[in-house]
A and B are shown apart, each in its own frame.
Chain A
C-alpha cells in the first residue's frame, strides 16, 4: 500500500539535544511538508520542499532544519535552539504544488525529558 511513514511514533528529547524525525513516502509525490500541531491551534507549517535538494521555510522554521536528498525522504531535525519542541509533528506530501490535497502520515509525538 502506498502511503507516508513517520517514525518513531513517540520521541523524547533531553535538554541541549538534537533529534531527527523520519518521513518516508512511496506515493511518488513531488512535494513534501512538515507541520507542527499544538492543542487548540491549527496545523502550522515548518518547512516544505517542492523538489529534491530544494526546500523553503514555512511560518515557524526557527529551531528546525530539513534535508531533501531523495524524492521519497524528508527528515526533520529539531535542534536545541527550538525552546518549545513538545508537540505533535506531521509530515505530508502532495502530487503537485497547487490545487492538490496533501496526504499525511500518522505523526510523531515529541516530548521533553
Chain B
C-alpha cells in the first residue's frame, strides 16, 4: 500500500533560522511527488512537482529535493509569512489519485 510520512509534525523556527521538512514515501513506482502549502481554513496551494530522483525545484525561500525514498522541503531564512502547514503527496504509476501525508505545521516567530 502506498504511504507518505511527514516529519516533524510541528516545527517552530525563529525568523531567519533555516531548516528542512521531510517527506518519506513508499510507492509502487513514483509518477510524481507534490508539495503544497495550506493556511488555516483554506485549501492547499500548489508549490512544486518532482518527478525523478535528483530533481530540485526552487521558489523564493523554498527548495524541494527528491531521492528514491524521500523528499525534503528546505526553507532558507524563513519569515513569519511562511508559517503554514506543508503537505506532501505522491502519485503512483498507473493510478490517478494522490496519497497525502498528514503535514508539517510550521510556525516562524519574528
CB-CB < 8 A to A51: which residues of B?
A: none
Contact A98 B96 (CB under 8 A): yes
How many interface residues does A have (CB within 8 Å)? 27
Contact B4 A103 (CB under 8 A): no
| Majority secondary structure of chain A interface residues (helix, strand, loop or mixed) | loop
B31 at the interface (CB under 8 A from A): yes
Binary interface encoding of chain B residues 38-62 relative to chain A, with 1 for a CB under 8 A from any of its CBs, else 0: 0001111110010100000000000
Contact A104 B43 (CB under 8 A): yes
How many interface residues does B have (CB within 8 Å)? 24
Give how many A-B residue pairs fall within 8 Å (CB-CB).
60
Contact A101 B97 (CB under 8 A): no
Among the listed stretches B11-19, B67-75, B98-106, which one makes contact with chain A, having 4 or more residues with CB under 8 Å of it? B98-106
Per the bound structure, the CA–CA distance linking A101 and B51 in Å amounts to 11
Contact A107 B43 (CB under 8 A): yes
Contact B102 A42 (CB under 8 A): yes
CB-CB < 8 A to A42: which residues of B?
A: 4, 87, 89, 99-103
Contact A105 B43 (CB under 8 A): yes
Contact A48 B97 (CB under 8 A): yes
B8 at the interface (CB under 8 A from A): no
Residue picked from B34, B43, B46, B91, most chain A C-beta under 10 Å: B43
A25 at the interface (CB under 8 A from B): no
